[in-house]
Amino acid sequence: MSTDSVRHCSDGSRRENVTDGRIRPGRARLAAGPAANRSLGSATVSQQLVTVVTGGSRGIGAAVCARLAADGHDVVVGYRSDSDAAAEVAASVLAAGRRCVTVAVDTTDEDAVDRLFDRAAELGPVTGLVNNAGVSGYNGRLADADVAGIRRAIDVNVTGYLICARRAIRDLTRTGGGAIVNISSAAATLGSPGQYVHYAATKAAVDTMTIGLAKEVAADGIRVNCVAPGIIETEFHADPQRPAKLANTIPMGRPGRPEEIAGAVSWLLSADASYATGTIMRVAGGI
């Protein structure tokens, strides 16, 4: 996908400010702020946190961007096509006093992912990645699913994560380490029968990727962890009423909120989680 649709909230040829909750043309507010601590294996150094979030324009991704900004991260919002939604997320990041770049990206495209990380470098060395862009595809029995939809889910949810992680590892290795958080799903172990077994299979792959990659890059000062949400109130569901309908199947009696997932992600990226790697953190209300 072309990066002509990139909307800059840092330095660049187009600059924007936030006023009255909207992004308007003008000079960007560059809030460098105090340097934050970044965990690099057994050592901790002082460096501004710059985190790339894919699928950052809505749902869990948007909540993650807002939480990271509140916790001192400069944020790179990767989004598929909704530039207006990405701009709203960028506004929330700027309102928190942090810097932001939004980038249109197809995470299954190697060149597009390279452009995403190249744009991210405008904010400084990348210190973290949140792999969040995903699709569920057909909701129903596997026997009735179309192969194109199955392949699309695998391409976005697995190949896309691997491509993004590969580029992040290359950058993080050069700059001294950092952290990756993959967004999985409780479906990885529940299987989601009668709904989307193919989607559950892709998330099981994400769990395995997390465990293996964590071991592979630990010596490079890179931590790799995973958050596995349960049923969350987002636009991800084809049926908007699905979370409410399934509330009685959740031990806590309610679906989760995107902000509850964002808190877990932020912790795993923080120095407080400096000894956590290869972890799959289930945030699912007990399911």
Supply the residues annotated as catalytic.
199
Q: For residue 59, what are the contacts with CB-CB under 8 A and spacing of at least 6?
A: 232, 234, 235, 236, 258
- Cα distances (Å, whole numbers) of residue 131 to 27, 128, 159: 30, 10, 11
Q: What is the DSSP string of 89-147?
A: HHHHHHHTT--EEEEE--TT-HHHHHHHHHHHGGGSS--EEEE--------S-GGG--H
User: What token pair was written down for 48?
Assistant: 């501004």
Burial of 34 (0-12, 13-18, 19+ CB in 10 A): exposed
Instruction: Say which amino acid occupies 222.
Output: I
